[in-house]
Structure 1
Amino acid sequence: MRIVSGMRPTGKLHLGHYLGVLKNWIALQNDNDCRFFVADWHALSTSYEEKLNLRQLGRDLVKDWIAAGIDPERSTLFVQSAIKEHAELYVLLNMVTPLGWLERNPTYKDQLEQMRHKEIHTAGFLTYPVLQAADIILYGAEGVPIGEDQRPHLEITREIVRRFHHLFGCEIFKEPKEMLTPTSRLPGLDGRKMSKSYDNAIFLSDTTDEVWQKLRVAKTDPQRVRRNDPGDPDVCLVFDYHKALTDDATVQKIDADCRAGAIGCIDCKKICAASIERLLEPMRQRRADLDDDKIDAIVEAGNAAAKEEAGATMQRVNDAVFEISCHT
C-alpha cells in the first residue's frame, strides 16, 4: 500500500512523538511503499512569527527519524517545500474548495480556541486542510496514518478529490483511507501534555544524564509521603511511562509493590530510566553516524524521487484543468 505522512519541523522529537507516530511509521515501512516528508510549509501556518530555522530543523527532524529506525532505503524521505508541485496543486485545489467546508472543520475551530495566544486568523491556517490534501493525493496515497483528531481533515481530502473529478471529468486521484493508529498519549513530566513549550519532555536526543535528571523530579502519587507508604500507580505519571516502555512482568510487579509500599519512588524511577535507556541508546548510536551532509544527501535523493512522481501527477492535473482532457 502507498503510505504518505509528514511531520512539522518545529523542534526536537520526544517520547510522545515516538510512541504516537514514529513507532507506527517504523512498522509500516516493513510492508508498504512509504513517503515521509518534512512539512515545513505547514509549520508556517502556526509558527510564522517565531522565525524558525526551518532548514536546520528539517535536517534535525530527519536525523531523529533515521535514528529512531526509519530506513531511507525502504522509505522515501523528502522536504515539502523542495517539491513546488505541492504549492501548484494547493493553488488549484483552493480554486474549487468551498469556503464552508474549511470553516466547518472541527479541528480548525478547536485550534483557534486552543491557540488564542497566537495570531492564526490567516488564510494559510484556514486552508491548511487543502495543502494537506495536496500533499497526500499528489503521490497517490492509499493509506494515511492519523490519529482520531485528524479524521475530519482526511474526509475533506476525499471530498476535494470527488469535487475535482466531478468538475473536470477526469479521475486522477485516489481517495485515501485513514489508518487509525492507537495513539499513546504519554504525559509530560509535570502531568500536562508532553511538549517542548512546557519544558516537560524527554527528547529522543537526550543523554543518559539528561533523562535521569528529568525523571528524578517527575511527579508521582502526591499522597505518598514516606517510602513504605502504600501508593496508587493509577495516579502516578511515572507508571504511565512504565506501561508504555517497560516489559509486562515488571509492570505487574511494580504495580503490586507500589500498592504494598514495597518499592520507593526513586527505585521505581530508576527502573523506568533503564527502560527509557533501552529505547534511546540504539538511537544515540545511529545518530552518531549521521551528520548534516549525510542527511542532506538522503533528503536530496528523496526530493528527486518525489519531484519526478509529483511532476507526472501535475502533468495530468494541468491537462485536465487547462485542456479539459484526460491523459492516463
Structure 2
Amino acid sequence: MFKGRILSGMRPTGSLHIGHLSVLENWAKLQEEYECFFTIVDWHALTTSFNETESIQENIHEMALDWLSVGIDPEKSCIFVQSHVKQHAELHLLFSMITPLSWLERCPTYKDQVQQLSKEGKDIATYGFLGYPLLQAADILVYKADTVPVGEDQLPHLEFCREIARRFNYLYKREIFPEPRAVLAKVSLLPGLDKRKMSKSYNNYIAINEAKDALQQKVRQMVTDPSRIHKTDPGNPDICVVSTYHGIYTPDEVTDIQESCKQGTIGCVACKKKLAQQMEVALAPYRDKRDYYAQRPGLIKEILQNGKEKAEARAEATLHEVRKAMHL
C-alpha cells in the first residue's frame, strides 16, 4: 500500500553530474513507498532557453539514461516527458484564468532570477517565465499528487501550488485537488573542482557517467590548500575540496585522512589517488547500467512511451473532473 502519490521532475540539460546524485538516489528510495511520477520537464526548459532548443531532444535522451542508471525503475515509477502529456498545458491554461497576477509577481525568486539572468544576457521578461510556478502547479495537481520531494528553496513554489488547489476547490465547490505536502530532501551540496558551485557552465563538474580516466584526471584538478607546497607540509582540510569529497566517498576513513593531512603525513597526490579509487568504485555501477540502456535506444523510447500512456490516463481523469466542475 502506497503512502501517497509523488510528482517530481527535472529540466533536460543533458547528462547529469554527481551533484544531482543525492536527489536521484532519494527518488529511487521514494519509489519503494510511493506511487511515483517522474517527468522530464522540457516545457520548463523553454522558460529560460526558448531560443536554444537545438539540443533539447538529445538532452531528454541523456537525462532518461541518467535516471535509469541510478535506479529509477520503469516497473515501479512512471517516467515520461512533460510535453508528451498535453493535459499539463490544458490545466495550466485553466489555472491561468483564476490566478491573480499579483500571486505570480510576488514569487520570491522571480525578480531575483530576472535580474540575475538579465546580467547574463538573457531576456526572460516573458509570461512563460512569470508563469513558471503556475505550470509547476499544473504538473503536480494534474496527477493529484499529495507529496512532493523538494529542497527548502522550493517551498514557496509548493505553497503557491497549495494556494492554487485551495482557490480552485473554493471557486468551483469541488474537492478535486489535494494540497500537496513537502517531503524535504536532504541534498548533498557538492562543490565543483574549483570550489565554486558545480556547473557545466563553469566546466568544473564530474558527470555521473564520467569515464575512469577522465574521473582520475578531474580529481587531480581539484583545488587543495594553496599554502601547502610540499607533501610533508601540514595542510588544512577545511579549505580543501578533496577533503569534502572524502567525507562522502570515504566516510569511514575521512577522519584519519584529515588528521594525516594536518600532520603532513599524506601528500595531496596520494590523497587524490585514494579519492579517485573510491569514486570509481561508487560510480562504476551507474556507468555500466547507463551503457546498457545507451546500447538500447529502442528500449528508452518504449519506456517513455509507456510512461506517457500511464501519465496521460491519470491526467485525463483529472481533467475530466476539472472540465465538469467548470461546465466545459
- Tell whether the structures are fold-level matches, with TM greater than 0.5: yes
Structure 1 residue 264 corresponds to structure 2 residue 267 = yes
Task: From 301, 305, 309, give the equivalent of 2:310.
Answer: 305
Query: What is the SS of the residue equivalent to 1:259?
Result: helix
Query: What is the SS of the residue equivalent to 2:115?
Result: helix
Return the offset for 1:79. 0.6
The sequence identity of aligned pairs, in percent, is: 50
Following the alignment from structure 1 to structure 2, what is the Cα–Cα distance between the partners of residues 25 and 113?
32
Amino acid at match of 1:90: H
Return the offset for 1:147. 0.7
Corresponding position of 2:253? 250
Structure 1 residue 238 corresponds to structure 2 residue 239 = no
Query: What is the SS of the residue equivalent to 1:5?
Result: strand
| Contact 1:107 1:149 (C-alpha < 8 Å) held by counterparts | no
Return the offset for 1:50. 1.8
Amino acid at match of 2:196: R
Alignment of 1:95-110 (within 5 A): 95-110=97-112
Following the alignment from structure 2 to structure 1, what is the Cα–Cα distance between the partners of residues 109 and 11?
17
Alignment of 1:260-299 (within 5 A): 260-290=263-293, 291-299=296-304
TM-score between the two structures when normalised by the length of structure 2: 0.96
Return the offset for 1:109. 2.1
Give unpaired runs (5+ residues) of structure 1: 324-328
Corresponding position of 2:177? 173
Return the offset for 1:314. 0.3
Corresponding position of 1:326? none
**Aligned-pair RMSD on alpha carbons?**
1.1
Query: What is the SS of the residue equivalent to 1:231?
Result: coil
Corresponding position of 2:50? 48
| Contact 2:80 2:304 (C-alpha < 8 Å) held by counterparts | yes
Alignment of 1:202-241 (within 5 A): 202-241=206-245
Following the alignment from structure 1 to structure 2, what is the Cα–Cα distance between the partners of residues 150 and 270?
37
Amino acid at match of 1:165: N
Following the alignment from structure 2 to structure 1, what is the Cα–Cα distance between the partners of residues 140 and 270?
47
Structure 1 residue 160 corresponds to structure 2 residue 164 = yes
Corresponding position of 2:92? 90
Following the alignment from structure 1 to structure 2, what is the Cα–Cα distance between the partners of residues 304 and 78?
9
Structure 1 residue 59 corresponds to structure 2 residue 61 = yes
Alignment of 1:110-189 (within 5 A): 110-116=112-118, 117=120, 118-189=122-193
Amino acid at match of 2:27: W
Query: What is the SS of the residue equivalent to 1:50?
Result: coil
Give unpaired runs (5+ residues) of structure 2: none
Corresponding position of 2:21? 18
Deviation per CA, 1:139-185: give whole Å up to 9, x if none: 11111011111011000000011111111111111110011112211
Return the offset for 1:53. 2.3
Choose 215-224 or 49-58, whichever is displaced more: 49-58
Following the alignment from structure 2 to structure 1, what is the Cα–Cα distance between the partners of residues 199 and 147?
27
Query: What is the SS of the residue equivalent to 2:179?
Result: coil
| Contact 1:3 1:33 (C-alpha < 8 Å) held by counterparts | yes
Following the alignment from structure 2 to structure 1, what is the Cα–Cα distance between the partners of residues 149 and 53?
29
| Contact 2:134 2:161 (C-alpha < 8 Å) held by counterparts | yes
Following the alignment from structure 1 to structure 2, what is the Cα–Cα distance between the partners of residues 113 and 229?
45
Corresponding position of 2:325? 320
Following the alignment from structure 1 to structure 2, what is the Cα–Cα distance between the partners of residues 49 and 197?
17
Return the offset for 1:51. 2.5
Choose 48-57 or 215-224, whichever is displaced more: 48-57
Amino acid at match of 1:309: R
Aligned length in residues? 321
Following the alignment from structure 1 to structure 2, what is the Cα–Cα distance between the partners of residues 143 and 24?
14
Deviation per CA, 1:56-101: give whole Å up to 9, x if none: 2111101100111111111110110000000000000011111111
Amino acid at match of 2:45: A
Return the offset for 1:322. 2.0
Amino acid at match of 1:141: A
Deviation per CA, 1:100-141: give whole Å up to 9, x if none: 111111111221232221111110000000000000011111
Runs of 4+ in 1 over 4 A off after TM superposition: none
Query: What is the SS of the residue equivalent to 2:110?
Result: helix
TM-score between the two structures when normalised by the length of structure 1: 0.96
